[in-house]
Structure 1
Amino acid sequence: MSNTVLHKANERGHANHGWLNSHHTFSFGGYYNPNAMNFGALRVLNDDVVSGGMGFGRHPHDNMEIISIPLEGDLEHKDSMGNTAIIREGDIQAMSAGTGIYHSEQNAHENQAVKFLQIWIYPNQKNVEPRYDQLTLNLEDRHNRLQQVLSPNKDDAGIWIYQNAWFHMGKFDKGVSTDYAIKGGKNNGVYAFVLKGDVSINCQQLNTRDGFGIWGVDSISITADTDAEFLLMEVPMIF
């Protein structure tokens, strides 16, 4: 029997700090919703806009898989492992915080905002050695098909993390449909986040920035009701 959860865009938590305008799908910071704590191993899905020249100062993390997906602009990353990098639209970044890291994230430009998704996933191994991974994706590989951008496998497409999770991104023309088969077995579910446009998943209509989770199924059907972009996050529901 399938189970679902729907998070409409306008029902998310919202925090506007001036330099940071953030929407929280799940409880985060000053936003607490006991009915929106997580979706299985997916703990945080923040939709962030950072003003020019501003950013997150040096701060710690541990025992969390942290994924950043830039949607617009350039984000400068620095961390205690010695990494300094710029991540841009079309890139994906992952950190295994493990035994502990410090990092900062700064808008690389003074005169334009940077928009990105910040995603946290509970790991399946604790206290691993911290690691950093970044990849530039071919955006054409998601036109009217699902592009795998993350998996648990070092040798598979996309980046990898310490969890039985797979991410796919799609940029579909209106009317295009596809199916997505669950990869991780019966204990996994899929959380879909619509970046742009209107999408139907298993007949549930979704609009820009809506989120929809479904589990207890072997596959899901996806149709772009308009030109649309979306992210699918398959994660364990039991972990």
Structure 2
Amino acid sequence: MHYIRKADERGQANLGWLQSKHSFSFGRYLDPKHMGVSTLRVINEDIVSPGQGFGTHGHRDMEIISYVISGALKHKDSTGNEYIVPAGDIQRMSAGSGIMHSEYNASNSAAAHFLQIWIQPKLRGITPSYQQKSIIQTAPLTPLVTPNGEQGSVSINQDASLYRLQLTAGQTYNLQTSNRKGYFHVISGSADANTDTFSSGDAFALSFDQQVTLTAKDQLEALWFDLPA
């Protein structure tokens, strides 16, 4: 691994209604050492207070993915989409030529906890689009987002894939990149990787032709990004 990002070293923002931790530079948090990996530009871990959220605002030329850890989000955009996104669902919005949207906590009593992920697009200026799915875990590493929506996953406008990894205590799994890059982000639980232990919020990146063997210390849920070189 050539890059390690520990949870307690991330940038932070406290807006009262929003508690956010930034894996990469975002908003007022700027650190030239942490600008993303390959086309992966943003991973924000957000906790939104009941009934609060992000009011209507615009995006363009970005693939925006939301993974809800707990609670639910209420999504609405200028193309007519209006959905509730519950925990476990994967949501992808291609901003393309431009889109306006809002994202609120769908509950007035419980916080919403989710990961906001931005991936730079392959093609610019495309027609905005939206997808949302609940994907059942069929293997330790299950695809959530792929370029062409393979194996029932959500599609994306980039040569990049996002997988959910789930392991039980003591279970091992090998991650490798060949001629690609990879990024591993822990949602919950912990695992040993080489001589390091990674827990909730921790992450690491693999460069070309690297591999690592993970050994789960307890129930592990994580995301694995397969990214272009």
Could you tell me the TM-score, scaled by structure 2's length? 0.95
For 1:137 and 1:156, locate their aligned partners in 2 and report how far apart those are by CA, in whole Å: 10
5+ unaligned residues in a row in structure 1: which ranges? none
1:104, distance to aligned residue in structure 2 (A): 0.2
Aligned position for 2:193: 201
Secondary structure of the corresponding residue to residue 175 of structure 1? coil
Structure 2 residue identity aligned to 1:35: K
Structure 1 residue identity aligned to 2:206: I
1:203, distance to aligned residue in structure 2 (A): 4.4
Q: 1:95-174 counterparts in 2 under 5 A?
A: 95-138=93-136, 140-141=137-138, 145-174=140-169
Structure 1 residue identity aligned to 2:68: P
1:155, distance to aligned residue in structure 2 (A): 4.2
1:81, distance to aligned residue in structure 2 (A): 0.6
Aligned position for 2:208: 216
Structure 2 residue identity aligned to 1:49: I
For 1:213 and 1:154, locate their aligned partners in 2 and report how far apart those are by CA, in whole Å: 24
Identity score, percent: 39
2:84 counterpart (83, 86, 104): 86
* Residues 208-227 of structure 1: per-residue CA shift (max 9 Å, x gap): 21011111125442221222
2:45 counterpart (44, 47, 50): 47
For 2:219 and 2:83, locate their aligned partners in 1 and report how far apart those are by CA, in whole Å: 32
Structure 2 residue identity aligned to 1:146: L
For 1:137 and 1:101, locate their aligned partners in 2 and report how far apart those are by CA, in whole Å: 26
* Residues 59-97 of structure 1: per-residue CA shift (max 9 Å, x gap): 000000000000000100000110000001110000111
Give RMSD over aligned pairs: 1.5
Aligned position for 2:65: 67
Secondary structure of the corresponding residue to residue 205 of structure 2? strand
For 1:218 and 1:26, locate their aligned partners in 2 and report how far apart those are by CA, in whole Å: 22
8 A Cα contact 1:151 1:157, kept in partner: no
1:202, distance to aligned residue in structure 2 (A): 4.4
* Residues 178-225 of structure 1: per-residue CA shift (max 9 Å, x gap): 22344xx61x21111111121123444212210111111254422212
Could you tell me the TM-score, scaled by structure 1's length? 0.91
5+ unaligned residues in a row in structure 2: which ranges? none
Aligned position for 1:189: 181
Secondary structure of the corresponding residue to residue 141 of structure 1? coil
* Residues 10-56 of structure 1: per-residue CA shift (max 9 Å, x gap): 00000010000000000001101110011110000000000000000
For 1:154 and 1:230, locate their aligned partners in 2 and report how far apart those are by CA, in whole Å: 20
2:223 counterpart (204, 211, 231): 231
1:58, distance to aligned residue in structure 2 (A): 0.4
Structure 2 residue identity aligned to 1:98: G
Structure 1 residue identity aligned to 2:69: L
Count of aligned pairs: 229
